């Protein structure tokens, strides 16, 4: 098969569906080799993420047009149809002839039989003829003949759409789905050593559109930027870290880091670890825990790039492993717990298809275990901040209730006093911090506890 934007998009989609790994990992691996024309990279990414985002709509449309059940289609055929359909219904700058002919050419190059290419050709040409009468992706107000359900038109699993309608009402559920489908602009956290104004000036001087965020004092937003992060001015010098505004508001909930040892119990790639290190006073020690080898390596790389390699002690294991090693108690602990990620679908559209409602209980069990392990490590009078990038109560409020029921020596402290005035509306009467994608930021939850 020839190497171009469409062929690589098809390769990515096939591998993602088959391997069940995060889409971003497959994209990074397949696109590591550059294209001859840089525009092909942009087109390939747009096609891949567009198909995954709108898969629910595309499959519903395909099910209406095909007499052959989707479940019985060969993976290559189904992904090729999705790619072709998406170009027809959502990529206005792509001529219909190119969308159809290039899809068929890829199938021919893959050695698919004539009857199958004829089948795909027939469906795509029918869609091309009927475009004026079709409800387009996300188009829920027009009265047309598609007859699709609301979850299909909004391209969300029915269980998730119904859950949001039940929790928030239809209006907010629609807003959440639209925010997920609208994607998110690249957001940076300006390093303290530089400051937001200097970073803005550096980016704007390079001809990059950049503006201050609305809620976090360190946030810089790059509307429309689609280039590589490594190409941004200041990347190599450690002037910034990629981090959504909601995520930037979590670490400050720990309060003043003026003394003692502080722990990032779920460091990941180091977004919050590096922020923790920036806020730490001169006599403060920061420890970061990350058990997964790939993430641990990237954590180290980010610490080095931001000039924090000597300031943070990294531990290649779990919180339980750290507790087993013994000998230390922490003045403060951040538990940014592994979760469903249902609050960051706008950045990772594959999450909606990779999650099941039944899995929320499993996440809750793991989150409670992390809090239990962290409680053992927290010094009397110490602060614990729990956070997830999920909007769902099983992973948030219910975890808080269960934890507090078994830990009478912990009390909730309100989050509002630790946030800038611009972000205090995200704190409810219970003191918990909550954001949603329809508010212009990722969906986060956070709570602050103190050990008595």
The catalytic residues are 389
Q: Note whether 386 and 449 are within 8 A (CB).
A: yes
Q: What is the dihedral of CA 362, 363, 366, 372, to 10 degrees?
A: -120
Task: Give percent helix, percent strand, percent coil of the chain, each to the nearest 5.
Answer: 50, 15, 35
C-alpha span between 239 and 233 (Å, rounded): 8
Longest distance between any two alpha carbons in the chain, whole Å: 73
Q: Which of 340, 367, 362 is nearest to 351 (CA)?
A: 340
The answer to whether 216 touches 189, Cβ cutoff 8 Å, is yes
Distance CA 57, CA 85 (A): 10
H or E stretch covering 317: none
Assigned token pair, 127? 């869609």
Long-range contacts of 37-45 (CB under 8 A, 24+ apart): 40/4, 40/5, 41/5, 42/226, 43/5, 44/5, 44/6, 44/8, 44/9, 44/12, 45/226
Token couple for 168: 């928030």
Contacts of 350 (CB under 8 A, 6+ apart): 16, 22, 23, 52
Residue 34 burial (10 A CB sphere; 0-12, 13-18, 19+): exposed
**By C-alpha distance, which of 346, 359, 335 is closest to 183?**
346
Is 384 within 8 Å of 332 (Cβ atoms)? yes
């Amino acid at each position: 098969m020839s190497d171009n934007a469409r062929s690589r998009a098809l390769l990515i989609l096939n591998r993602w569906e088959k391997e069940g790994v995060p889409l971003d990992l497959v994209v990074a691996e397949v696109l590591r080799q550059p294209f001859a024309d840089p525009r092909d990279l942009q087109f390939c990414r747009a096609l891949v993420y567009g198909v995954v985002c709108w898969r629910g709509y595309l499959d519903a449309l395909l099910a209406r047009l095909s007499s052959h059940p989707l479940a019985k289609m060969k993976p290559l055929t189904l992904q090729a149809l999705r790619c072709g359909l998406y170009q027809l219904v959502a990529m206005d700058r792509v001529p219909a002839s190119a969308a159809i002919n290039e899809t068929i050419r890829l199938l021919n190059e893959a050695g698919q039989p004539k009857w199958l290419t004829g089948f795909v050709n027939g469906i795509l040409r029918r869609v091309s003829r009927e475009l004026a009468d079709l409800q387009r992706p996300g188009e829920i107000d027009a009265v047309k003949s598609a007859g699709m359900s609301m979850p299909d038109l909004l391209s969300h699993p029915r269980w998730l759409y119904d859950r949001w309608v039940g929790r928030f009402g239809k209006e907010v559920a629609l807003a959440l789905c639209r925010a997920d489908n609208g994607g998110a602009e690249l957001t940076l956290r300006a390093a303290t050593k530089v400051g937001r104004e200097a970073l803005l000036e550096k980016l704007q001087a390079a001809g990059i559109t950049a503006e201050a965020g609305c809620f976090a004092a360190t946030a810089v937003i790059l509307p429309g930027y689609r280039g590589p992060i490594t190409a941004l001015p200041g990347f190599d010098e450690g002037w910034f870290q990629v981090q959504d505004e909601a995520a930037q508001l979590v670490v400050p909930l720990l309060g003043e880091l003026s003394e003692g040892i502080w722990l990032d119990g779920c460091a990941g790639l180091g977004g919050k670890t590096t922020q923790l290190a920036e806020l730490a006073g001169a006599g403060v020690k920061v420890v970061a825990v990350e058990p997964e080898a790939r993430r641990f390596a990237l954590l180290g790389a980010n610490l080095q790039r931001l000039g924090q390699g000597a300031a943070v002690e990294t531990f290649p294991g779990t919180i339980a492993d750290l507790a087993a090693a013994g000998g230390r108690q922490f003045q403060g602990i951040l538990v940014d717990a592994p979760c469903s990620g249902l609050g960051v679908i706008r950045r990772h559209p594959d999450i909606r298809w990779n999650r099941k409602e039944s899995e929320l209980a499993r996440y809750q069990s793991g989150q409670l275990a992390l809090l239990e392990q962290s409680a053992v490590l927290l010094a009397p009078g110490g602060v614990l901040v729990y956070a997830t990038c999920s909007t769902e109560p099983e992973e948030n409020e219910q975890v808080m209730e269960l934890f507090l029921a078994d830990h009478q020596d912990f009390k909730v402290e309100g989050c509002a006093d630790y946030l800038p005035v611009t972000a205090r509306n995200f704190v409810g009467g219970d003191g918990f911090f909550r954001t949603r994608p329809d508010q212009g930021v990722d969906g986060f939850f956070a709570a602050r506890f103190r050990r008595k």
